[in-house]
């Protein structure tokens, strides 16, 4: 393996408009894990690593982040750095700082949340992400009489989740997608913050104590409570709509929490995502999930459901900065921050308003709507809550708050009850 594979990959990264994951899937399987690990480390902490390896990249972070992709692609220092990273054998800092983020992102965080939270956020979001799985209820049948733990089949040890009683968290690489148990649907890969949003959407009263008023600061010391599982089961047969379901991460989690009761509808405007959702539901043996592809104006398709849903989750399209650890290429901003925005030619703000306008009418009186995003800006979180309060007088705010980005990715969620 040659160390310049990283340089070639980076040059392609500068030109390509596809996601890092899709680019990595083109790399030869033998080289992929190392390329993925080192390239992600560079994209997460370029200036911290440059300092560590003593290779100057620019006079200042501002000057570095000002460089065009034409210049980055040919940047001598970057290619020296990539070579040093490759040869380091993984011995490098696992944490960066504000210098590793474009100044416009840092300025936005400081304006919204102040310097302390911003420093903390940059530190946390420049680290490696954890690998988290959500154990399906069927895994409980895998514990033998002798108390053997099904997780012992993994070489890497997993710890329990902080919040979700069914989360198991691996530090370091665990080949979680390559096991027979995964193929048979015994678990899904799902960040704990995403698991928390799925629980919140069903029962925000139970989950609200886990949330914080400010992102990144003040992580709540919380112990995942196994009794939560029983609490969800006793909610009975709810009608739940996951209005922006994507490939169904939260749809599946909600179906599992309700343990086969009720009916869960997963909506999205992209057929490919709904196909993926259906495939995953099949693998998990969830029979009460229905995936539906919607038009951009879904009124005709859904109006017969108006006022009928017990719970509606609107996991809205957003900038995605809460999951920067997993998708470090987002901050390099080779295209507008959100592909849906680009496709629909609207602002994120407009898109977030549209999804609430489209799906709020589905909630029945006494039912709940959850608005959620994997982002932190006030514009996408608390300002959206104010907008909902001003524009939807039939709904009352119940709970709102942030989770992460500590041991979880970063999410914001707010629940509203329909009062008339
Ligand atoms: C944040 S992602 C959802 C992630 C998903 N809930 C999960 O847990 O994996 C937002 C989703 O909203 C979808 N979307 C965008 N505009 C929409 C619309 N007008 N109606 C429904 N879904 C929409 C996108 O395709 C995307 O899958």
Q: How far apart are CA 350 and CA 122, in angstroms?
A: 28
Mutate to test the pocket of ligand 1, among 257, 291, 317, 411 (most ligand atoms within 8 A of CB): 317
pLDDT at 140 over 90: no
The ligand 1 atom nearest the CA atom of 246: 27
Average pLDDT, the chain: 91
pLDDT at 218 over 80: no
pLDDT number for residue 346: 72
Q: pLDDT tens digits, residue range 254-278?
A: 999 999 999 999 999 999 999 999 9
CA 312 distance to own-chain centroid: 19
pLDDT number for residue 1: 47
pLDDT at 380 over 80: yes
Q: Which residues line ligand 1 (CB under 6 A)?
A: 194, 243-247, 249-250, 267-270, 273, 294, 296, 315, 317, 340, 354-355
pLDDT number for residue 89: 86
Q: pLDDT tens digits, residue range 84-114?
A: 999 998 899 999 999 999 999 999 999 999 9
| pTM to 2 decimal places | 0.93
Q: pLDDT tens digits, residue range 284-313?
A: 999 999 999 999 999 999 999 999 999 999
Q: pLDDT tens digits, residue range 389-399?
A: 999 999 999 99
pLDDT number for residue 175: 83
Using the mean position of ligand 1's atoms as its centre, give its distance from the Cα of residue 244 in Å: 4
Out of 188-197, 212-221, 321-330, 364-373, pick the least confident: 212-221
Mutate to test the pocket of ligand 1, among 21, 340, 408 (most ligand atoms within 8 A of CB): 340
Mutate to test the pocket of ligand 1, among 244, 318, 355, 358 (most ligand atoms within 8 A of CB): 244
pLDDT number for residue 96: 97
Q: Which residue, judged by its Cα, is nearest atom 9 of ligand 1? A: 249
Using the mean position of ligand 1's atoms as its centre, give its distance from the Cα of residue 96 in Å: 30
pLDDT number for residue 145: 60
pLDDT number for residue 20: 87
Mean pLDDT of the region 59-73: 93
Mutate to test the pocket of ligand 1, among 268, 314, 380 (most ligand atoms within 8 A of CB): 268
pLDDT number for residue 156: 75
Out of 141-145, 252-256, 312-316, 394-398, pick the least confident: 141-145
Mutate to test the pocket of ligand 1, among 192, 257, 269, 316 (most ligand atoms within 8 A of CB): 269
pLDDT number for residue 212: 93
pLDDT number for residue 336: 47
Mean pLDDT of the region 15-42: 89
Using the mean position of ligand 1's atoms as its centre, give its distance from the Cα of residue 223 in Å: 30
Q: What percent of the chain has pLDDT over 90?
A: 74
Using the mean position of ligand 1's atoms as its centre, give its distance from the Cα of residue 51 in Å: 39
Q: What percent of the chain has pLDDT over 70?
A: 94
pLDDT at 371 over 50: yes
Model confidence at 168, pLDDT cuts 50, 70, 90, reads: very high
Using the mean position of ligand 1's atoms as its centre, give its distance from the Cα of residue 86 in Å: 36
Q: pLDDT tens digits, residue range 317-359?
A: 999 999 999 999 989 875 545 666 666 667 888 999 999 999 9
Out of 4-8, 9-13, 17-21, 118-122, pick the least confident: 17-21
Using the mean position of ligand 1's atoms as its centre, give its distance from the Cα of residue 356 in Å: 12
Model confidence at 238, pLDDT cuts 50, 70, 90, reads: very high
Using the mean position of ligand 1's atoms as its centre, give its distance from the Cα of residue 391 in Å: 22
Using the mean position of ligand 1's atoms as its centre, give its distance from the Cα of residue 315 in Å: 6
Model confidence at 148, pLDDT cuts 50, 70, 90, reads: low
């Amino acid at each position: 393996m040659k160390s310049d594979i990283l340089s070639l990959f980076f040059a392609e990264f500068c030109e390509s408009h596809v996601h890092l994951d899709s680019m990595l899937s083109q790399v030869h399987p033998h080289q992929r894990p190392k390329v993925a690990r080192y390239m992600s480390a560079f994209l997460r902490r370029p200036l911290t690593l440059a300092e560590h390896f003593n290779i100057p990249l620019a006079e200042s972070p501002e000057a570095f982040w000002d460089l065009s992709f034409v210049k980055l692609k040919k940047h001598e220092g970057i290619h020296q750095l990539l070579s040093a990273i490759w040869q380091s054998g993984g011995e490098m800092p696992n944490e960066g700082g504000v210098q590793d983020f474009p100044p416009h992102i840092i300025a936005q965080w400081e304006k919204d949340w102040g310097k302390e939270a911003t420093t903390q956020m940059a530190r946390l979001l420049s680290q490696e992400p954890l690998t988290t799985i959500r154990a399906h209820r069927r895994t409980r049948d895998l514990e033998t009489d002798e108390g053997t733990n099904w997780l012992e089949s993994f070489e890497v040890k997993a710890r329990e989740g902080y919040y979700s009683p069914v989360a198991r968290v691996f530090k370091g690489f665990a080949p979680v997608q390559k096991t027979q148990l995964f193929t048979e649907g015994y678990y899904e890969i799902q960040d704990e913050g995403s698991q928390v949003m799925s629980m919140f959407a069903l029962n925000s009263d139970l989950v609200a104590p886990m949330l914080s008023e400010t992102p990144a600061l003040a992580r709540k010391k919380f112990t995942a409570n196994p009794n939560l599982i029983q609490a969800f089961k006793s909610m009975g047969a709810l009608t739940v709509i996951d209005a922006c379901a994507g490939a169904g991460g939260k749809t599946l989690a909600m179906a599992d929490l309700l343990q086969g009761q009720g009916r869960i509808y997963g909506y999205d405007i992209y057929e490919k995502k709904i196909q993926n959702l259906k495939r995953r539901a099949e693998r998990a043996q969830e029979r009460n999930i229905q995936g539906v592809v919607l038009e951009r104006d879904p009124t005709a398709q859904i109006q017969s459901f108006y006022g009928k849903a017990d719970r509606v989750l609107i996991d809205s399209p957003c900038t995605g900065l809460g999951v920067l650890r997993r998708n470090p290429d987002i901050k390099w901003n080779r295209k507008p921050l959100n592909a849906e925005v680009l496709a629909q030619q609207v602002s994120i703000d407009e898109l977030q308003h549209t999804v609430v306008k489209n799906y709020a009418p589905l909630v029945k009186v006494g039912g709940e709507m959850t608005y959620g995003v994997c982002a932190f800006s006030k514009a996408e979180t608390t300002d959206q809550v104010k907008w909902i309060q001003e524009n939807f007088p039939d709904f009352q705010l119940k709970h709102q708050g942030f989770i992460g980005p500590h041991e979880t990715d970063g999410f914001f969620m707010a629940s509203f009850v329909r009062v008339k």
